[in-house]
Amino acid sequence: MNNTRRAHLALFTTTLIFGFAYNIVKSLMPAILSPMQLIFIRLLGGLIIFWLFQRLFVFEKVARKDLFMLAICGMLGFALNQALFYEGLNLSTPVDASLIHVLNPILVMVFASLLIGEKITWIKAIGVALGATGVIMLIFSGHSLSFDGNHARGNLLIFLNLIFYALYLVLIKPLVGKYHSTTILKWVSFFGFLFVLPFSLKPALEINLQAITPIAWLAIAYIIILNTFVAYLLINFALKHVSAGVVSYYSYLQPVLASGMAVSVGQGSITLPKIAAALLIFAGVFLVNRRSFT
């Protein structure tokens, strides 16, 4: 298996991890942890794991001139991205969040073209459009997007999270060719934790540990180990071999996988609109990545 195919496998695995995370995160908020309490735990846990792993297995130093960009990426990809997503999801729903994330590949494609010169081709644009159509069909087949009250504020925060995550994917791309993924993520998580610390320290000191059940601890472990450590490592590995736009495009698969998971446990059904939506999404995946499959 060549590195490009490994990158796609890494992205598919990341999509699975993120697909499960929507409901896992929502199950913890706000009954057990507030968004800022959860973000403090996630970033601190991720920071510890990245630093330990890098110290034990990767012996690499970062040039001082790159620390500024790593700090920017830490602010965008860890602090702002994750804090806004958790605050938004606390007010909104996983369905609304997944619908808003349809815009992610489009934003990444635009930012990548403007900031690092990635070329936008008609084939890629058509693929993105097909995928977006499929996702909208899939989500609207049983749900609608809400813009009332807290939902509106939550959805706005999720949209802002999307912008910062798209910028992160584009700006981190040049660095993944220079350093090992763990080295990058060690520094990005460090700066991200520093940025979020002034806003999360007070809520963190108010965490009621007795209210955290064993199931909740398992959910927290999932968020730290899989949703942070493993997922970000896989994303950085993929960025070494495919474009930022391709990485972002895999967010289109999350609603498909979520629907498949629901059907497998008897919480959903297969319908013709869902089949048509899935076909559109996978057709879009093929067009965006067609060079990888030939």
Residue whose token pair is 């942890």: 33
- Identify the weakest region by mean pLDDT among 54-63, 159-168, 242-251, 282-291: 282-291
Domain count, the chain: 1
Average pLDDT of the residues in 137-156: 64
Q: Residue 169: which domain range? A: 3-293
pLDDT band at 294 (very low <50, low <70, confident <90, very high): very low
Q: What percent of the chain has pLDDT over 70?
A: 79
Q: Given CA atoms 43, 44, 45, 50 in this order, what sign does their dihedral have?
A: positive
The pair of three-digit structure tokens given for residue 239, joined into one six-digit string: 């960025």
The answer to whether residues 160 and 207 touch, using CB atoms and an 8 Å cutoff, is no
**Identity of the highest mean pLDDT range in 115-129, 193-207, 265-279:** 193-207
Residue of higher predicted confidence among 67 and 154: 67
Question: How much is the pLDDT for 59?
Answer: 81
Question: How much is the pLDDT for 292?
Answer: 45
By CB neighbour count within 10 A (0-12 exposed, 13-18 middle, 19+ buried), where does 56 fall? exposed
Whether 10 has a pLDDT exceeding 70, the answer reads: yes
Q: How far is CA 130 from CA 60, 225, 287, in A?
A: 42, 33, 9
Average pLDDT of the residues in 78-85: 91
Task: Quote the mean pLDDT of the chain.
Answer: 82
Whether 13 has a pLDDT exceeding 80, the answer reads: yes
pLDDT band at 267 (very low <50, low <70, confident <90, very high): very low
Side-chain-side CA neighbours of residue 173 (13 Å): 24
Question: How much is the pLDDT for 26?
Answer: 82
- Identify the weakest region by mean pLDDT among 45-54, 97-106, 134-143, 209-218: 134-143
**Each residue's pLDDT tens digit, 150-197:** 767 887 888 889 889 889 988 998 898 889 889 999 999 999 999 999
pLDDT band at 270 (very low <50, low <70, confident <90, very high): low
Average pLDDT of the residues in 83-93: 85
Question: How much is the pLDDT for 105?
Answer: 75
Residue whose token pair is 């999360």: 200
